[in-house]
Amino acid sequence: MIIAERKPLEEILGLIDGFDRILAIGCGGCTSICLAGGQREVMELSGEIRSKLAESGKKKDIFEYTIERQCNANFFVEMDHMVKDYDAVLSMACGAGVQFVADRYPYVPILPALNTTFVGVDKDVGWYEESCRTCGDCVLGETGGICPVTRCAKSLFNGPCGGTRSDGTCEVDPNIPCAWYEIFKRLKGQNRLELITKVRPAREWRNQTRRTVVQEPYRDRYEKVK
Amino acid sequence: MEILFSITLISIPVGRRNTAAITVHIRSIFITLDAGMTKEVISRRVFFSRTETSGCCKYDTSCFWANHFNQPAGHGEKSLMKSGSNLEAVLKSGHFAITGELGPPRGTDVQVVKKKAAFLKGMVDAVNITDNQTAVVRMSSWATSILVVQEGLEPNFQMVCRDRNRLAMQADILGAYAHGIKNMLCLSGDHQSFGDHPNTKGVFDIDSIQLISMVKTMRDEGRFLGGDEIDGPPKMFIGAAANPFGEPFEWRVHRLAKKVAAGADFIQTQCIYNMDRFRQWIKMAEDMGLTDKVYIMAGVTPFKSLPMAKYMKNKVPGMDVPDHLIKRLKGVEKKKRAAEGIKIACEQIQEFKEMKGVAGVHLMAIEWEHKVPQIVEQAGLLPRPNIKSDAGGDTSEESEEEED
Ligand code: SF4
Ligand code: SF4
């Protein structure tokens, strides 16, 4: 899942400065699940904006609306007729959703209310941890299911570096386990250390330009469209 | 073998050689043939195998083979070296080598480099030039290396993976070699969060082991990582670091093996204080046959003071300082502690000299360059061997060593 955090209120106020009528749209997808931009968070945010503005005797017209997902155009249909009535749209989706909304309504400014942070997992309610950098060439099969790109501070493919602490934590932060120490432990436990004894060659980075994915069953269909 | 002889014989210009020399050629050719070797590769191998066994080039200043492979005449034993660096020559000759360290200035003051270099000249076989050490911006390591060359010292150009991608790395390696830099040390680098620009983007396009392999490919295959041919490949003597004390301990020697497999010619270790653990590590390396394949230089950093020793013990990740050393420092008067630190370092060096599998020491006297002459002297490492790399140089010392 994509994890995001809300921007500080001050920054959001700066973004919406100069716009009187604002449509604040929540997303029912990832940002709702990670408690950053769902229906509840949209309400909370507009409430905070209103009371902050009220302190200095100002007022804005904010309308809250949440759609199923902001990363699929089919869900936009229900708000197509509303957007033209507003000066700006404040999106509470991840960066992908914000851009998709902006592409749909190019005539109105679209503003992000969140910082999209990472692809990760729930550690507990409201507590998330990064686990994948979407490198496009997954090596988890050879690293005991532990991602060296994300979890090693230097993204080493032939770790560990010389800095691993005596308790097996990373040189960068004594609270974070060294990814390669963990990889070693796990593969040792599985009796599969040979997976990391050979030199892994320099990789062909695949996340350097914008990527698209077309799943196998749809290849013909989109080939024709092109 | 027949094929080989015919290639060799056809290409020997008899007019320029006496029969004895030709006999030497024929007698000493002994190489392994692999399927798919080109004629160029075969004759290159013949060349190297010949010089390795007979060393006849030493007697002939108009050596045909030297001309044939476009090497300077009278190259002598250097021809069978990978880089021809002084450090390589010293290690290859079996001398106990010593390298030092010089941190570039945090500005453009060349005098700082000159001053430090003056302390190290004649004291060490090569000097490591650190590359934005601890992720703090300094004069670039290749530029400082050139300054050091001008001062008559041989640099060991350090390169970290944190600050450059593979394009910049290869470009810098070409440039460094073109300026006479022949040793390099391939490192991952301290994480950027430790430095003076903690939120910079760490590059880590490739890691240290991949860097080693890239430099080897550039040198031995004459190709860039991307596969294209290099017009005049850089012949670097390739170094790597090893930390015998990092966790997981039992894996460390395997990581060393990976560095050797990737192409490291020499290893400089992390500062060693725990001699027992180091001995254990070197024994493991020996058991795996690694000490025959790579020159291991043991890292030594003398304690300057008690606070420094404590800092090393408690604050530097991956460092192992036993309590008895802290006690020993505590046991002497405050103003005699620096001398005691040097004494400890010299005792360590003595032990390393006698330790099987250790080819030299890497003395990291950080911001203590002026003490290096004293330490090297006190450790009995002077004078340094003078193995000349120039044409017609005195190679008698080497040939003696080569006999055993
Ligand atoms: S290797 Fe890591 S970053 Fe790459 S796809 Fe797998 S989990 Fe994601
Ligand atoms: S200590 Fe481990 S996780 Fe941290 S940078 Fe080094 S190898 Fe990576």
The answer to whether B290 and B260 have CB atoms below 8 angstroms apart is yes
- pLDDT for res A223: 84
Alpha-carbon Rg of chain B, whole angstroms?
A: 22
The answer to whether B84 and B126 have CB atoms below 8 angstroms apart is no
Q: Exposed e or buried b for every residue in B366-404, given b needs 16+ CB within 10 A? A: eebbebbbbbbebbebeebbebebeeebebeebeeeeee
Which residue in the set B191, B225, B248 is minimally distant from A181, CB to CB?
B248
| Residues in chain A within 8 Å Cβ distance of B210 | 157-158, 199-202
Going by alpha carbons, the residue nearest to atom 5 of ligand 2 is A153
Which residue in the set A159, A172, A193 is minimally distant from B191, CB to CB?
A172
Instruction: Say yes or no to pLDDT of B51 above 60.
Output: no
Burial class of B298 by CB neighbour count within 10 A (0 to 12, 13 to 18, 19+): buried
Nearest residue to A46 (alpha-carbon basis) of A2, A86, A78, A104 = A86
Mean pLDDT computed over B108-132: 97
Strand order in the sheet with A61-67: A61-67, A21-27, A88-91, A110-112
Burial class of A143 by CB neighbour count within 10 A (0 to 12, 13 to 18, 19+): buried
Query: What is the DSSP pairing of strand A61-67 with strand A110-112?
Result: unpaired
The domains of chain B are located at 1-75, 79-382
Burial class of B42 by CB neighbour count within 10 A (0 to 12, 13 to 18, 19+): middle
Question: In this structure, what token pair is assigned to residue A203?
Answer: 């990789």
Q: State pLDDT tens for residues B194-248.
A: 999 999 999 999 999 999 999 999 999 999 999 999 999 999 999 999 999 999 9
Distance CA B364, CA B118 (A): 16
* B56 secondary structure, DSSP code: G
Distance CA B270, CA B259 (A): 15
| Domain topology for B79-382 | TIM Barrel (3.20.20)
Here the contacts of B53-62 (C-beta below 8 Å, separation 24 or greater) are B53/B28, B54/B24, B54/B25, B54/B27, B54/B28, B55/B399, B55/B402, B56/B21, B56/B24, B56/B25, B58/B395, B58/B399, B59/B21, B60/B17, B60/B21, B61/B391, B61/B392, B62/B16
In the structure, which protein residues have their CB atom closer than 6 angstroms to any atom of ligand 2? A 152-154, 156, 159-161, 163-164, 170-172, 178-180
CA A169 to chain B, closest CA, distance in angstroms equals: 9
Q: Is the CB of A133 under 6 A from ligand 1?
A: yes
The answer to whether B159 and B211 have CB atoms below 8 angstroms apart is yes
In the block, tokens 């599998």 appear at B357
- Bond into A174 cis (ω within 30): no
Chain A residue at shortest CA distance from B195: A172
The answer to whether B101 and B126 have CB atoms below 8 angstroms apart is no
Mean pLDDT computed over B264-289: 97
Distance CA B130, CA A110 (A): 48
Residue contact B318–A167, C-beta within 8 A:
no
Domains along chain A?
2-118 (3.40.50.2020), 135-206 (no CATH)
**Beta bridge partner(s), residue B268:** B241, B297
Q: Is the ipTM of this complex over 0.95?
A: no
Of all helices (H) and strands (E), which one includes residue B242? strand B237-242
Q: Is the CB of A135 under 6 A from ligand 1?
A: yes
Nearest residue to A67 (alpha-carbon basis) of A114, A22, A28 = A28
The answer to whether B191 and B202 have CB atoms below 8 angstroms apart is yes
- Bond into B383 cis (ω within 30): yes
Q: What does the mean pLDDT of chain B come to?
A: 84
Q: Among A122-136, B38-52, B69-83, which stretch is predicted with the lowest mean pLDDT?
A: B38-52
Looking at this protein, which amino acid is placed at residue B337?
Answer: R
Chain A residue at shortest CA distance from B253: A197
CA B173 to chain A, closest CA, distance in angstroms equals: 17
The answer to whether B242 and B255 have CB atoms below 8 angstroms apart is yes
Identify each DSSP E strand in B87-232 by its residue range: 97-102, 126-129, 155-160, 183-187
Q: State pLDDT tens for residues B246-265.
A: 999 999 999 999 999 999 99
CA A160 to chain B, closest CA, distance in angstroms equals: 8
Q: State pLDDT tens for residues B85-118.
A: 999 999 999 999 999 999 999 999 999 999 999 9
Q: Is the torsion defined by CA of A13, A16, A18, A20 positive or negative?
A: negative
pLDDT (tens place) for every residue of chain A, 226 residues total? 999 999 999 999 999 999 999 999 999 999 999 999 999 999 999 999 999 999 999 999 999 999 999 999 999 999 999 999 999 999 999 999 999 999 999 999 999 999 999 999 999 999 999 999 999 999 999 999 999 999 999 999 999 999 999 999 999 999 999 999 999 999 999 999 999 999 999 999 988 899 999 999 999 999 877 6
Query: What is the DSSP pairing of strand A173-177 with strand A169-170?
Result: antiparallel
Which residue in the set B191, B209, B251 is minimally distant from A153, CB to CB?
B191
**Phi and psi at residue A169, in whole multiples of 5°?**
-100, 165
Percent of chain B having pLDDT more than 90? Answer: 73
